[in-house]
Amino acid sequence: MKVVNKSVRKKDAMSLVTGKPVYTDDITTGSSLIVKLLRSRHAHAIVEEINTERALKLPGIECILTYKDAPQSRFTNAGQSFPEPSPYDRLILDKRLRCVGDPVAIVAGWDEKNIDKALRFIKVKYQVLEPLLDFTKSKDNEVLIHPEEDFKSLVDIGADNNRNLCSSENSEYGDVEEQFKNCTHIIEETYHTQANSQTMMETFRTHTSFDAYGRLNVISSTQVPFHVRRIVSNALEIPKSKIRVIKPRIGGGFGAKQSVVSELYPALVTMKTGKPAKMIYTRKESFTNGSPRHEAQITIRLGSDDDGNIKAIHMYSLWNAGAYGDHGPTTVGLSGHKAMTIYNKVNAFKFDFDVVYSNTMWGGAYRGYGATQGIFALECAVNELATKLNMDPTELRMKNMLTHEQVGNKMPAYYNEVLNSCHLDKCLIKAKEMIDWDNKYPYREVGKDKIRSVGCAVAMQGSGISNVDVGAVEIRLNDDGFYTLMIGATDMGTGCDTILSQMAADILECDLENIVVHGVDTDLSPYDTGSYASSTTYITGMAVVKTCKSMREKILSEGARLLKIPVEKVEFDGKNVFSLEDDKSISLKDIANFSLVGENNYITASESHYSPTSPPPFMAGVVEVEVDKLTGKVDIIDYVAVVDCGTVINPNLSRIQVEGGIMQGIGMALYEDVTHDKKGRLTSSSFLQYKIPSRLDVKDIRVEFESSYEPTGPFGAKSIGEIVINTPSPAIAHAVYNATQVNIRQLPITSEKIVMGMLENKKK
């Protein structure tokens, strides 16, 4: 490997750091209608009357659209492959409002001040209904969130809108109850994880217009351009062939932009007026009507024998879908299947879940996609079991978790997939060494009221969705011998344009600069399901490998033709096709130029890839914290992460992914909390209320890799995007326990909870 596994600079690095105009709002600066929404102030209500007459008289107001003007076909906002597993439970504008912030009317005009005034001039008569805000009381509640008769799901997900069920399922492997009878130690606890906002730098934004062919052009900051095309088609009731979606550079997504959030409102305005329209979410709107991580309550039973051999696991996940079911049926599955699989030696497991509707903001995709919630719960339970057994928790894990010794084994909790690669044991051993675990565990006094302690967790994720995700790639040999790599995968700041180019350069044996990469335009790019589910490196990467190998064959064939030598007697070294028998050769430049002269032999190659397996990357996370026993304040002193993502394609970009994911995980553990008041209004709608950590809030984050080789991945690679957020919450909770003897089972871990827990302990 000459280019792969090298820390080359991102292809767009200089444009981004020098502030070049590359984002949606930079490239759509022409005359466009400004689009804003009148949003519901009620958590549950029906629009009885709406009067827009006075607002329409304001200067520059082009149109005001209500539910009477919007199509009536239900759809899902979730950017997922067809048939989408998320239920069709939405309209663009609906008479029934299901959460605070639901859209009541779309206002479009040329002057922002008058648009804001128009929003105030619209008169709405609401029939205010009783809201259902506590998701733990939602199932079979008499308050129905979705009573509509045209509610439907395309696949069997256990949905029942008459019971407020977005999705439900029960599954069991082995006889769990029988196994628990043989367990001498059982942990049975309930853990709660809060909703989290993705807080990406660039908020949701979309520009729409008609092109010269009368087609709807959608320029949007999205992770899923091809899914956006389908969702816009469903919602607006127009054929996909009439829609083109373009993705410029996007300023982060972390899963938030795996849903359609801002696209439909300007699109409807353009459809109605024929004029360009643009909608830019404010930061407040991104907080109040984005698509945060689902709130979850997970009950775990975990049983072992006296020696710490875990025999059985039972998980029940109760998931708050909020007002709409986007990603609800799929995120919840990962909470069990990716958490329990880590302990693959168990004799039996059981996984039940209910995803329920409520009158709160709907959930969506967020890095980790449900595995984060499940791994927090199960890893906390494993740490509690270790305490009960009086055993070092790292030793308990080494006894039970997936290791290289299980390569070749089936993983029943992971859809019976076979483990092809695993260095989780090496990851944990290295992490212990890096933080000096044996000398620091469990804690040490460092001064008056100050105590330092360590905590640990392990995690796994996947690499794409097996038998679903598809990546396609096209590569073109241009005159003078440079290549254009056409991809449908979305670079959202992660650097996939760069790492996919690295793979292409390695196979074609050329300099990275010889690969021009082209981002996503659904009219031009080959189909790709999008950048989510940690799929790009693994799925699209393999498409690059296959496509570039095909390109090599075509170059060889054309070179042999031009040299008048049988193709089996030539070879290609990246610069020349040469004879294996004499000194004849022809340069790539000449092949490219001559192939375009009088031969009609434009050399291109295109391949697609999907995978019947989703190989898990692994990670061990170990943290050292300092707790002030007087105030409960927690400071991160050191965080050590060791990751097995197979072959590391670009060490610098991978390291940044790990550091960023750990920062987000620390935020989830200690600070971030999406909260509502008693009327369902969000109380954490700005960075003044919704706290995320800065670099000043964490000390060292140290990252190392223990690379296995994944035989089904490109160059042996697996994913890294999501797994990195999964260990901070359980590891920090563990360290806090080691310092204070307080088990925090409800995130975030606040000073108040710690102090109150210590006071409770004193009473015992």
Q: Tell me: the pLDDT tens digits for 299-342?
A: 999 999 999 999 999 999 999 999 999 999 999 999 999 999 99
Residues 13/503, Cβ–Cβ less than 8 Å = no
Answer with the one of 541, 576, 610 that is the final residue of a domain: 610
Q: Report the alpha-carbon distance of residue 313 to residue 466 in Å, rounded.
A: 24
Tell me the angle at which helices 728-740 and 651-670 cross, rounded to the nearest 10 degrees: 50
C-alpha count within 13 angstroms, C-beta hemisphere, residue 504? 32
Q: Which of 395, 370, 365 lies closest to 382 in space, CA to CA?
A: 395
Low-confidence ranges of the chain (pLDDT < 50): none
Residue 435: inside a domain, yes or no?
Answer: yes
Q: Which helix (DSSP H) or strand (DSSP E) does residue 282 occupy?
A: none
- Same domain flag for 592 and 673: no
Other CB atoms within 10 Å distance of the CB of residue 57: 10
What pLDDT, on a 0 to 100 scale, did the predictor assign at position 109?
98
Q: Report the alpha-carbon distance of residue 717 to residue 341 in Å, rounded.
A: 20
Residue-level length of the chain? 764
Q: What region does 481 belong to: left with phi over 0, alpha with psi -120 to 50, or beta?
A: left
Name the one residue in this structure whose structure tokens are 């002193």: 637
* Beta-strand pair 576-579/585-587: antiparallel
Domain boundaries, position 707: 420-461+614-763
Q: What CATH number is given to the structural domain containing 37?
A: 3.90.1170.50
Residue 488 buriedness (CB in 10 A; 0-12 / 13-18 / 19+): buried
Dihedral pair phi/psi, residue 242, rounded to 5°: -95, 10
User: DSSP states of 545-597 as a string?
Assistant: HHHHHHHHHHHHHHHHHHHTS-GGGEEE-SSEEEESSSS-EEEHHHHHHHTTS
What pLDDT, on a 0 to 100 scale, did the predictor assign at position 711?
98
**3-state class percentages of the chain: helix first, strand second, coil last, to nearest 5:** 30, 25, 40
Q: Report the alpha-carbon distance of residue 445 to residue 438 in Å, rounded.
A: 16
Residue 7: inside a domain, yes or no?
Answer: no
* Assigned token pair, 173: 């492997």
Cis upstream peptide for 225 (omega within 30°): no
- Same domain flag for 631 and 696: yes
What pLDDT, on a 0 to 100 scale, did the predictor assign at position 447?
87
Q: Which of 326, 368, 318, 257 lies closest to 84 in space, CA to CA?
A: 326
What pLDDT, on a 0 to 100 scale, did the predictor assign at position 480?
93
Dihedral pair phi/psi, residue 551, rounded to 5°: -60, -40
Q: What CATH number is given to the structural domain containing 475?
A: 3.30.365.10
Cβ neighbours of residue 330 closer than 8 Å, sequence gap 6 or more: 78, 80, 85, 86, 369, 370
Residues 86/327, Cβ–Cβ less than 8 Å = yes
Residue 531: inside a domain, yes or no?
Answer: yes
Q: Which helix (DSSP H) or strand (DSSP E) does residue 754 occupy?
A: helix 751-763
Residue 594: inside a domain, yes or no?
Answer: yes
Q: Report the alpha-carbon distance of residue 10 to residue 8 in Å, rounded.
A: 7
- Same domain flag for 97 and 221: yes
- Same domain flag for 699 and 557: no
CA dihedral 350, 356, 362, 366 (to 10 degrees): 0
Helix (H, G, I), strand (E, B) or coil at 184: coil
Residues 418/594, Cβ–Cβ less than 8 Å = no
- Same domain flag for 636 and 740: yes
- Same domain flag for 693 and 663: yes
Q: Which of 307, 370, 304 lies closest to 333 in space, CA to CA?
A: 370
- Tell whether the torsion through CA atoms of 368, 369, 370 and 371 is positive or negative: negative
- Same domain flag for 518 and 640: no
Q: Tell me the pTM.
A: 0.97
Q: Report the alpha-carbon distance of residue 747 to residue 729 in Å, rounded.
A: 8
Answer with the one of 610, 625, 657 that is the final residue of a domain: 610
Q: Report the alpha-carbon distance of residue 314 to residue 265 in Å, rounded.
A: 43
Which CA distances in Å does 739 have to 190, 271, 454?
22, 60, 8
Residue 148: inside a domain, yes or no?
Answer: no
Answer with the one of 268, 289, 310 that is the final residue of a domain: 289
Tell me the angle at which helices 751-763 and 728-740 cross, rounded to the nearest 10 degrees: 40
Residue 369: inside a domain, yes or no?
Answer: no
Cβ neighbours of residue 583 closer than 8 Å, sequence gap 6 or more: none
* Assigned token pair, 414: 């992971």
Q: Report the alpha-carbon distance of residue 364 to residue 166 in Å, rounded.
A: 13
- Same domain flag for 557 and 633: no
Name the one residue in this structure whose structure tokens are 């009950």: 299
Q: Give long-range contacts, CB 8 A cutoff, 24+ apart: 443-451.
A: 443/738, 443/739, 446/626, 449/628, 449/629, 449/630, 450/626, 450/627, 450/628, 450/629, 451/626, 451/627, 451/629, 451/739, 451/740
- Same domain flag for 425 and 527: no
Residues 727/620, Cβ–Cβ less than 8 Å = yes
- Radius of gyration for the chain, computed over Cα atoms and rounded to the nearest angstrom: 27
Name the one residue in this structure whose structure tokens are 């697996």: 718
Residues 102/43, Cβ–Cβ less than 8 Å = no
- Same domain flag for 535 and 441: no
- Same domain flag for 436 and 531: no
Residue 740: inside a domain, yes or no?
Answer: yes
Q: Report the alpha-carbon distance of residue 649 to residue 762 in Å, rounded.
A: 52
Dihedral pair phi/psi, residue 505, rounded to 5°: -65, -35
Cβ neighbours of residue 763 closer than 8 Å, sequence gap 6 or more: none
Tally of domains within the chain: 3
Residue 684: inside a domain, yes or no?
Answer: yes
Helix (H, G, I), strand (E, B) or coil at 514: helix
* Assigned token pair, 28: 């759509």
Q: Report the alpha-carbon distance of residue 458 to residue 728 in Å, rounded.
A: 10
Q: Report the alpha-carbon distance of residue 86 to residue 147 in Å, rounded.
A: 17
Other CB atoms within 10 Å distance of the CB of residue 1: 12
Q: Which helix (DSSP H) or strand (DSSP E) does residue 386 occupy?
A: helix 371-389
Q: Which of 533, 527, 540, 550 lies closest to 499 in space, CA to CA?
A: 540
For 45-56, write each residue's pLDDT tens digit: 999 999 999 999
Q: Edge-to-edge, what's the strand order for the sheet holding 604-609? A: 515-518, 483-487, 471-477, 604-609
- Same domain flag for 642 and 709: yes
